[in-house]
Amino acid sequence: MLLIQLWKIFLENQSNKFRHLFFHAPMRLKSLLFLIIFSLASCGGGGGGGGGGGSNSGSSSSSSSSTSGVSSFTSSDASSYRTTEYNNQSGLETIEAAESYAYLALNSKTNAGAGVSIAILDTGVQINHNEISANYTSTGSYDFVNSDSNPSDDKGHGTAVASVAAGVKDGSGMHGVAYDSDIIAIKVLNSSGSGGSHSAVASGIDKAIIYGAKVINMSLGSLAGSTTLRNALISAKAADILSVAATGNETASQPEYPAYYASDSSLSGYVLAVGSVGTSTSSTTISTFSNYCGNAANYCLVAPGYEIYDASYSSSGVTNGYEKDSGTSMSTPMVAGAAAVIRGAWPFLTAAQTANILLSTATDLGTSGVDTIYGHGLLNLYAAVQAQGQNNFAYGSSVSSSGYDVRSSSLVSDPIFGDAFVLNVAPQLASAVFFDDYGRDYKAFMNERISTRSNSNIAASLTNLAFNNYYTQIIPLSFGKNSSTQLNFQVKSYEDKSAPNQFGLKFITTDRSREDKTLTSSNGFSFAQNFDNNFSSGLKAGFSVNRDELANLREDKFNNFGFISVNNFAANPFQSFVNNSITSSLNSTTQRNFNQLFVGTKFFDKKFALNFSQQTSYDSSSILSKIGNLQNRVSDLNLSYLPNDATKISVSFGKMNEFDNNILNSKAVGAFEAAGNATTSYLKISASKKIFGNFSVISSFAQGKTIVSGNNLGIFRNYSDIQSRSSSLGLVNEKILGGKVGIIYSQPLRVYSGKAEINVPVARDLEGNVTRYSSTVSLTPKGREQDFEIFYAKNLTLNWFVDPTIKFNLVAQKQPQNIKSAANAYLGFVNFGAKF
């Protein structure tokens, strides 16, 4: 590749030393190689240089993995930004500009540098060029060569540089990195690429300071610095301006000035040195002409600078000319534009913070870590606009107030809440934001971190049926004349791991959309001791694992009567919370196990029964583990009254204490957490009455009241009046059509009353004060599940089997899981059972 060799000329003028600076102008495809010598008054430095034919489209480096909690962004969102003019400027794809534009837009941020002025210290600009005119501002623009306010380009270098940094997006030609930024054109070089001293560049910096530039681009260079130039850069630092300078085009091991000042401890983080990557065979290899980062490596990075498509100057007034240029003059405005994009999106960021973001998010090239060739690596704008470090969901009035990390926050609600969280709560969280280590605000998308557990009552109840493939063995034992002992083993004999089923069912697939995972049910065991040598009377006590043995042992068979759509009539109303597993986050599944201690007795001629039980459940991520995180503890006192064979009444009082961020079996973690454990007190009444002939009416009613404390550090600041209810009413005929027939209507557990006060951060100001949004939301779902079921069961006589039975069930659910928009669910099945 041909290089333009520039040589240094020294000139002294009285007390000030003026240095002629050599400038590496880019070689244009339309021109011959030529030598440019010019003098500057401040910092010299490399502009564009080298050249070559052919177009290099550039290859996009792989973006760093996102550290943000944002879950809505996909790469397809960037496709709309890959327009013809975007694709013409291949360097944009290399720095992943399209992704950054889409990502910032998704976060409702200015995505192309609007509100930021970039000072281009160069040969001026062609003001009427299509890529310049709309973004050019006369305020602050100046010509230090001719000492007037018309910085017209008569060389073309400044026009090309300005278009790469902030070229207009207008549907034609190309556009710059920060295509909405303002261009302050400050002419410090003449038509031959020379003219001026270090003091001229220093004056240009001072002009940029006065007129509010946030970024200064210097695609120019000198082999030596000066006090005048350094002092001007220190003044820019004091004005919180980020100065970006080219390393030069001599294939040297050290950058030129002013880029070399990036190594000056007094200017650390306020001057960035920029080298060039791009060759005829690779878009991420150091360009053959580029100077290295050298001693400035800690504040140096590289950007595309090989055959960059940019605006070309026309002396005849053509406003839509374009060409390809190579040099660090082209890579430098890439970084300047990137800085403008970041400062436009978050105006409160300082120049030093902006520099640190660009450096720390650069894609590492060359030797691992910071090295003297590539510095921190390749500019990666997409990585730069993503959150760095924490995803802090601040609880207070300042961005510095601590809070939960959005990435570890989620809420998986139980069907008892139905669609309440999705419809009532989630929309209120849509504008919530979090803050990264730099205080940058991002949409938290907390509304997308709420989901409803998919586990219908039908599917849950199927686990109680014979085709659930459990092998049950009851072993009676005797330890004395007046007592008896019973062991009960329940072992799962089959699990279909190849089908996307639930609960390990062999033939029942409840959700074909699920991944290839089985939600495993645990084996069960129980021990019961009767102290009256008769399991139908006296005092009995025992314990069980994964079996509600107290309900199973009750001689009155006051259970579910053969229905599958309602809970066991003898169980506590929240028994399903003990049995069922629930995901503890959006992407993990846990295994729930529980144990039960129970004691019961009958009195008054066995017409009354008093039973007490305590159940404790645990969740574990391993199906082999029987001990895990404590989930809930249910204490239940049940009084049953059986005055005769035709009447049965059962009343239960109880309390359920929930742990591990559970609220009515809904898992709330991170910012969704409550301040303490939830406690639910409940009452359940079940009754059956034979009304005439073989017909019996059965009914059940349960109500609970839940108390949970709000979390002043999270989203839900207060909870109030959470009450839940379930009911059922059915009719059973014990002897009809040679078997048993039943029909029932039921409403599963549903929160019918409850409110929560939410409080979330939604914005911040320049001083770091957080704007918060608060509201009171209803926890009552809009949906109301209603179940209708008919069953028929009959004992058969078959020579090959012992006690064969056949059973038919038809179930219909309206608004299943208390979700109003849910489609009606229907289930019909036949069950055959027998002993062998």
Residues 630-646: tens digit of each pLDDT? 899 999 998 989 888 88
In the DSSP assignment, the letter for residue 425 is I
Residue 832 confidence (pLDDT) above 60: yes
Regarding predicted confidence, which is higher, 779 or 526?
A: 779
Residue 701: half-sphere exposure toward Cβ, Cα within 13 Å: 3
Residue 352, phi then psi, degrees to nearest 5: -65, -40
Query: Mind telling me the catalytic residues?
Result: 122, 157, 329
Regarding predicted confidence, which is higher, 669 or 41?
A: 669
Q: Where are the domains of the chain?
A: 9-61+88-385, 452-835
pLDDT (0 to 100) of residue 603: 84
Residue 21 confidence (pLDDT) above 50: no
Predicted confidence band of residue 745 (pLDDT cuts 50, 70, 90): very high
In DSSP notation, 694-756 reads TEEEEEEEEEEEEE----TTSSEEEEEEEEEEEEEEEEEEEEETTEEEEEEEEEEEEEEEEEE
State percent of the chain over pLDDT 90.
60
pLDDT (0 to 100) of residue 490: 55
Predicted confidence band of residue 210 (pLDDT cuts 50, 70, 90): very high
Rounded distance between C-alpha atoms, residue 576 and residue 665, angstroms: 9
Rounded distance between C-alpha atoms, residue 357 and residue 94, angstroms: 18
Regarding predicted confidence, which is higher, 709 or 37?
A: 709
pLDDT (0 to 100) of residue 716: 97
For 150-178, what is each residue's pLDDT tens digit?
999 999 999 999 999 999 999 999 999 99
Beta strands in 377-458 (DSSP E): 392-394, 403-405, 410-413, 433-435, 441-443, 450-452
Burial label, 805 (beta-carbon count in 10 A; 0-12, 13-18, 19+): middle
Burial label, 587 (beta-carbon count in 10 A; 0-12, 13-18, 19+): exposed
SS3 labels along 153-212: CCCCHHHHHHHHHHCCCCCCCCCCCCCCCEEEEEECCCCCCCCCCHHHHHHHHHHHHHCC
Angle between helices 97-106 and 328-345 (to 10 degrees): 10
Question: What would be the CATH architecture of the domain defined by 9-61+88-385?
Answer: 3-Layer(aba) Sandwich (3.40)
Predicted confidence band of residue 74 (pLDDT cuts 50, 70, 90): confident
What would you measure as the largest C-alpha separation in the chain, in angstroms?
Answer: 124
Rounded distance between C-alpha atoms, residue 45 and residue 38, angstroms: 11
pLDDT (0 to 100) of residue 463: 42
Quick one: CA torsion of 641, 690, 748, 543, rounded to 10 degrees? 40
Tell me how crowded residue 146 is: count the other CB atoms within 10 A of its CB: 15
Residue 74, phi then psi, degrees to nearest 5: -130, 160
Q: Which residue, 592, 580, 596, is CA-closest to 545? A: 596
pLDDT (0 to 100) of residue 580: 64
Residue with token string 């495993």: 520
Which range among 433-442, 500-509, 671-680, 720-729 shows the weakest confidence by mean pLDDT? 500-509
Burial label, 10 (beta-carbon count in 10 A; 0-12, 13-18, 19+): exposed
Is residue 462 a contact partner of residue 468, using CB atoms and an 8 Å limit?
Answer: yes
Is residue 110 a contact partner of residue 101, using CB atoms and an 8 Å limit?
Answer: no
Residue 812: half-sphere exposure toward Cβ, Cα within 13 Å: 6
| Token pair belonging to 597 | 């201690």
Question: What would be the CATH architecture of the domain defined by 452-835?
Answer: Beta Barrel (2.40)
pLDDT (0 to 100) of residue 260: 98
